[in-house]
């Protein structure tokens, strides 16, 4: 039986609770207590200002000069405290929200990067995780604190001003309660679910458009070579159209909400005057007391009309909670059960390995057994789509669906080179030592490695190894692959996995780099289509599709094993 969907409060607590019970709980609760103290002081000062406003008005109506100037002095004293308290409260609130955002973003990043969740999460249909971490977390912490504090402030305001209002008019209090309850019920019934749904889709549509624009920027050169501007424009236009269509629906819903909110708030200005008119006109109530009652009425109505006044922001907030809740659950979920067993050893040893495509029963490799001794080499070949890269993913632990066992050296002794290297915008040094953050070699050793891959010129001129560039745009495909080889030489792993890592290199460079790895005694696993690569490997694994395979020694040797 499927579990019932979580309520909005449960989804909120899933995301928010760790901050209040985790390692920052002491600081979080103490700072919140300080904010509440500031809010209490601000509320009490607001009551005093409202009282003095009434006193000031009554003194003017009575033409009593001493009483008027006494009220002015009292109001100035109140303002002297109210202004710094107000400013300090909002400064502290924003600082608190910023700390919460820092903590919660780090928590999401930890989960996102843990156990390669960033790789697997795409298959779970969670769109735009980057936007959820960068934008939705920021909105969540800021809005959560905002709504929590205005809720507490409204309760304080309700208690403080209700006493004032009750002392002036019981009838006004009764009318206020009925008016506020009617408005709240109507706003929830008419605008609640549609606005939340529309805001949820607006967040998704805007993120899709931004992601597509980012893809154009990242692949500008390829698009320019293809002349693909028309296709890209079409794709961008589709996403823009979807965002604008949803925005149009939001505008219509917001128009109806604005009509309701404006009518509700404007009528509230008339209500106190109508209810108290008989007492003022009959001389039973001073004009200043009527002004004081109107101020108290507005304050209490604002407190009990919290949902009505903030309905648009609340609907956007709830939509953002849904997106963060889905991602939080995905990051906290246990990783999928691995059908392929893994073990550590000194060499690559594969036993009865069957690899299946994720989410399907399609077999890519079936019952593969082989051992690559230390310093040995294996070339994987086959037609496009037969499962070569999938086999590498299974060896590296990225794909777990299937059966059998893979034993290989520890992860820090395994290095992977893809066909298109990943290059950051940063220093040349950071490219060489990636993924490490601190270099294990001195500058002289790094420069010597650049010599080996014929890229010494990159370190010449201003900056040297600390020269900063957008290397992906600056370097050609062959230079990028040679820089990736330089990384491999810097880390000196025991096992290197190369997926078409020399496809952009000329034969001379390819031969020199492979021979360099063989001299170091590095175990090599390669995927390649060029026939010349076979000469650098002792055995060749040919994948034939449908799970079938053949393992041979160098092309001039006889077949060792077959998986036909």
Answer whether residue 1 is part of any domain: no
Of the ranges 175-189, 197-211, 391-405, which one carries the lowest mean pLDDT score?
175-189
498 and 374 share a domain?
yes
Q: What are phi and psi of 465, to 5 degrees?
A: -65, -20
- At residue 2 the predicted structure's pLDDT band, cuts being 50, 70 and 90, is very low
Residues 115-137: pLDDT tens digits? 777 777 765 567 778 778 888 88
Residues 51-73: pLDDT tens digits? 777 778 778 877 888 888 888 88
Token reading at 389: 């890269």
What is the C-alpha R_g of the chain? 34
Cα separations in angstroms, 339 against 381, 405, 563: 25, 9, 20
The pLDDT of residue 393 is above 80: yes
Alpha helices per DSSP H over 219-228: 220-226
CA atoms within 13 A on the CB side of 3: 3
- The dihedral built from the CA positions of residue 418, 421, 422 and 427, taken in this order, carries a sign that is positive
Predicted TM-score (pTM) of this structure: 0.66
Answer whether residue 3 is part of any domain: no
Peptide bond just before 302 cis, omega within 30 deg? no
279 and 382 share a domain?
no
Answer whether residue 97 is part of any domain: yes
124: CATH? 1.20.1560.10
297 and 372 share a domain?
no
324 and 356 share a domain?
no
The secondary structure of residue 497, as a DSSP letter, is E
Dihedral in degrees, nearest 10, Cα atoms 84, 87, 90, 92: -60
The structural domain count of the chain equals 2
> Of 270, 299, 332, which closes a domain?
332
468: helix, strand or coil: strand
Give the mean model confidence (pLDDT) for residues 467-474.
Answer: 83
CA atoms within 13 A on the CB side of 182: 10
Answer whether residue 398 is part of any domain: yes
**Residue 247 near residue 204, CB atoms below 8 Å:** no
**Cα 94 from Cα 464, distance rounded (Å):** 42
> Of 332, 356, 381, which closes a domain?
332
- At residue 550 the predicted structure's pLDDT band, cuts being 50, 70 and 90, is confident
Answer whether residue 460 is part of any domain: yes
Residues 3-62: pLDDT tens digits? 445 577 788 888 888 888 888 888 889 988 998 898 888 878 887 887 777 778 778 877
Token reading at 413: 């002794």
189 and 124 share a domain?
yes
**Cα 180 from Cα 214, distance rounded (Å):** 47
307 and 372 share a domain?
no
**Cα 456 from Cα 512, distance rounded (Å):** 16
> Of 307, 332, 357, which closes a domain?
332
Answer whether residue 2 is part of any domain: no
Q: What are phi and psi of 354, to 5 degrees?
A: -120, 125
Dihedral in degrees, nearest 10, Cα atoms 91, 96, 98, 99: 140
174 and 209 share a domain?
yes
**Cα 11 from Cα 23, distance rounded (Å):** 21
Of the ranges 6-15, 71-80, 82-91, 230-239, which one carries the lowest mean pLDDT score?
6-15
Containing structural domain, residue 231: 8-332
CA atoms within 13 A on the CB side of 366: 10
**Cα 66 from Cα 61, distance rounded (Å):** 13
279 and 393 share a domain?
no
**Cα 494 from Cα 346, distance rounded (Å):** 9
The pLDDT of residue 422 is above 50: yes
303 and 386 share a domain?
no
Residue identified by tokens 């949820």 is 200
71 and 188 share a domain?
yes
**501 Rama class: left (phi>0) / alpha (psi -120 to 50) / beta:** alpha
529 or 66, which is more confident? 66
92 and 207 share a domain?
yes
499: CATH? 3.40.50.300
- Write out the DSSP string of 169-206: -HHHHHHHHHHHHHHHHHHHHHHHHHHHHHHHHHHHHH
């Amino acid at each position: 039986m499927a579990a019932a969907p979580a309520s909005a409060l449960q989804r909120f607590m899933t995301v928010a609770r760790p901050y209040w019970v985790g390692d920052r709980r002491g600081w979080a609760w103490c700072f919140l207590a300080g904010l509440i103290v500031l809010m209490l002081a601000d509320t009490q000062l607001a009551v005093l200002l409202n009282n003095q406003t009434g006193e000031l008005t009554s003194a003017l109506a009575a033409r009593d000069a001493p009483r008027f100037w006494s009220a002015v002095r009292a109001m100035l004293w109140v303002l002297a405290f109210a202004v710094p308290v107000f400013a300090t409260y909002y400064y502290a609130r924003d600082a608190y929200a910023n700390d919460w955002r820092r903590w919660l973003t780090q928590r999401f990043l930890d989960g996102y990067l843990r156990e390669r969740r960033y790789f697997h999460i795409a298959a779970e249909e969670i769109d735009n995780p980057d936007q959820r971490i960068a934008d939705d977390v920021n909105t969540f912490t800021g809005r959560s604190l905002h709504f929590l504090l205005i809720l507490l402030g409204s309760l304080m305001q309700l208690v403080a001003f209700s006493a004032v209002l009750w002392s002036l008019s019981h009838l006004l209090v009764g009318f206020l309660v009925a008016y506020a309850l009617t408005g709240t019920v109507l706003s929830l019934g008419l605008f609640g679910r549609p606005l939340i749904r529309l805001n949820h889709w607006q967040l998704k549509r805007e993120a899709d458009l931004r992601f597509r624009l980012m893809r154009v920027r990242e692949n500008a050169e390829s698009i320019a070579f293809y002349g693909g501007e028309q296709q890209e424009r079409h794709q961008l236009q589709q996403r823009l159209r979807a965002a604008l269509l949803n925005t149009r629906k939001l505008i219509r819903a917001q128009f109806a909400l604005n009509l309701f909110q404006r009518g509700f708030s404007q009528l509230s200005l008339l209500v106190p005057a109508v209810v108290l008119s008989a007492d003022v006109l009959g001389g039973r109530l001073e004009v200043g007391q009527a002004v004081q009652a109107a101020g108290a009425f507005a304050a209490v109505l604002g407190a009990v009309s919290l949902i009505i006044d903030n309905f648009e922001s609340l609907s956007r907030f709830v939509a953002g909670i849904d997106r963060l809740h889905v991602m939080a659950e995905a990051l906290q979920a246990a990783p999928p059960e691995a059908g392929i067993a893994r073990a550590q050893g000194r060499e690559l040893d594969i036993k009865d390995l069957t690899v299946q495509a994720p989410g399907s029963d399609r077999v890519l490799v079936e019952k593969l057994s082989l051992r690559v001794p230390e310093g040995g080499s294996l070339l994987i070949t086959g037609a496009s789509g037969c499962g070569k890269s999938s086999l590498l993913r299974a060896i590296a632990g990225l794909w777990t669906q299937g059966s059998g066992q893979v034993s290989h050296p520890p992860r820090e002794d395994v290095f992977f080179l893809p066909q298109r290297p990943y290059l950051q915008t940063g220093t040349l040094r950071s490219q060489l030592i990636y993924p490490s953050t601190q270099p294990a070699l001195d500058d002289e050793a790094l420069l010597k490695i650049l010599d080996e891959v014929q890229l010494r010129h990159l370190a010449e001129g201003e900056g040297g190894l600390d020269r900063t560039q957008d290397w992906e745009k600056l370097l050609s495909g062959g230079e990028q692959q040679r820089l990736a080889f330089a990384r491999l030489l810097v880390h000196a792993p025991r096992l290197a996995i190369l997926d078409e890592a020399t496809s952009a290199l000329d034969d001379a460079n390819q031969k020199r780099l492979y021979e360099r790895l063989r001299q170091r005694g590095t175990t090599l696993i390669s995927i390649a289509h060029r026939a010349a690569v076979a000469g650098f490997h002792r055995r060749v694994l040919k994948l034939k599709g449908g799970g079938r395979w053949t393992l041979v020694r160098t092309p001039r040797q006889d077949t060792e094993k077959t998986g036909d």
